[in-house]
Amino acid sequence: MNRMKSIGMAAVAIGVVVVALTSGSAKVGKHSETMDASQFVTLTDAVPDAILEIRYFSTYNFVGARIDGYQEPTALLTKQAADSLRAVSDDVKAMGYRLKIYDAYRPQRAVDHFVRWAANVPDTLMRRYFYPDLLKDVLFDQEYIAAKSGHTRGSTVDLTLFDMTTEKEVDMGGTFDWFGPESHPDFCGNPATGKFTGDNHNSPAGRKITPQQFANRMILRNAMLRHGFKPIGTEWWHFTLKQEPFPNTYFNFPVRQLKK
């Protein structure tokens, strides 16, 4: 998830946000919202080697249910982001890897679903898998859940590497959508230098990753940076195209195969 700085509010205020986001208005704050999918492509059309594990179509995600707007287990991106991701795929394939995609374009209705779920504090079905060190009522304040997501602009992707020799995911030392410092790119290392440091940034349970796990994260990160994507400081799997074509547009069409 994109943890953009947006909200940290009490339950009453959260209710106001939900109403505002689901009212059907064409505007959300200063940003436009649209159902136009004409500038998007199905990711696997652009990157045929990509493996899809669309977590929000399944029930294995931090909510524990299929997320609104995910009508098919596919991935969509803007044409520009998909072209750049193809270059990443070609790059890592030469090293013996394929890209595995957890999420790409995410409709606003899915983000609204996250907001409603976060407001329902007693629902902790998946806590032990994704946020065992946190109480659910801090997820807004600590910016794990927000009312807007860069994914909704269509040029952000959540992904990992798949090793073609072992036929397994590469061991990154942590799972996708884990809420905690263990997901930060600088966990136990310095991404700017690629050096392992062992600094676990006060992991609540004293967790650490190994030098190899940190190095694996850097393989993915460096490949993404080489081809025009930028990372964030809180999720090793999350990257946005630097020159994203729709920086102020939040799309709301459903995730499903696009007609050619």
The residues with which 33 forms a beta bridge, in sequence order, are: 250
Write down the catalytic residue from 33, 53, 182, 235: 235
CA 111, CA 247: separation in Å to the nearest integer?
17
Say whether 235 is catalytic: yes
CA 3, CA 149: separation in Å to the nearest integer?
7
Q: Tell me the two tokens of residue 243.
A: 């020159």
Active site residues: 235
